[in-house]
Amino acid sequence: MGESERVGAAFFQSFHAVMLNDLGVVLPALVSGNDLPGFTEAWDDHLAAVAVHTVMEEGVEGVGLGAIAMLDHYLGGVLGLARFAAEHAQESVAQAAVTAAIERGAISLECALGTYQAMVEDHLKHEEAVIVPLVARLPPPGSRNSAIGAWPRAWPMGGSSIL
Ligand SMILES: [Fe+2]
Ligand SMILES: [Fe+2]
């Protein structure tokens, strides 16, 4: 694994560590302290950070492809975006449940947050078990484009989804 791959994998895993800290330490402490305004602020920050991370992984239609499509491009379609995108969609439902639980109080919030936390932990374990080892299998930077074809970077023309 070259330097850029090491940095990429470390960045990916560091963000996961931040998410786990949010869900295992920061947010539960605000719930148990019944600090709902503090929770709302920290929750908004969490959602914003997750949105950035999801864009890095999935890309944005009409703008650019993400890390999962990049790995698929260089490794012959071994990964597939759809299964990870489906997990992200499930997380969005659980996130909405947490947001809705804020106004119902700490007990509802604790339940919704626990459900979301368990879902995220499973998702991150899945990603780290499958994606991170593939980063190590990327062809060396100098050989990538000549051996396999240039990474298109931009979303395919015509605005079609790659799902
Ligand atoms: Fe993800
Ligand atoms: Fe991730």
Q: How far apart are CA 24 and CA 19, in angstroms?
A: 8
The predicted pLDDT at position 158 comes to 39
The Å distance, Cα 123 to ligand 1 centre, comes to 7
Determine which helix (DSSP H) or strand (DSSP E) holds 125, and give its type and residue range: helix 106-135
Per-residue pLDDT at 72: 84
Q: How far is the CA of 88 from the centre of ligand 1 (A)?
A: 6
pTM here is 0.83
Domain ranges of the chain: 3-139
Which ligand sits closest to the CA of 91? 1
- Cα 57 to ligand 1 centroid, rounded to whole Å: 6
Please give the full DSSP string across 129-143, using - where no structure is assigned: HHHHHHHTTSPPGGG
- Mean pLDDT, contiguous 10-residue spans, the chain (163 residues): 70 88 97 96 97 90 84 82 91 98 95 97 92 80 65 51 39
* 3-state secondary structure (DSSP) of residue 64: strand
Whether the CA torsion 156, 158, 159, 161 is positive or negative: it is: negative
> Which pLDDT belongs to residue 76?
81
∠ Cα 41 47 129 (to 5°) = 135
**pLDDT of res. 40:** 97
How far is 19 from 146, CA to CA, in rounded Å? 37
What angle, 0 to 180 degrees and rounded to 10, lies between the N-to-C axes of helices 36-58 and 3-21? 150
Residue 138 in contact with residue 9, Cβ under 8 Å?
Answer: no
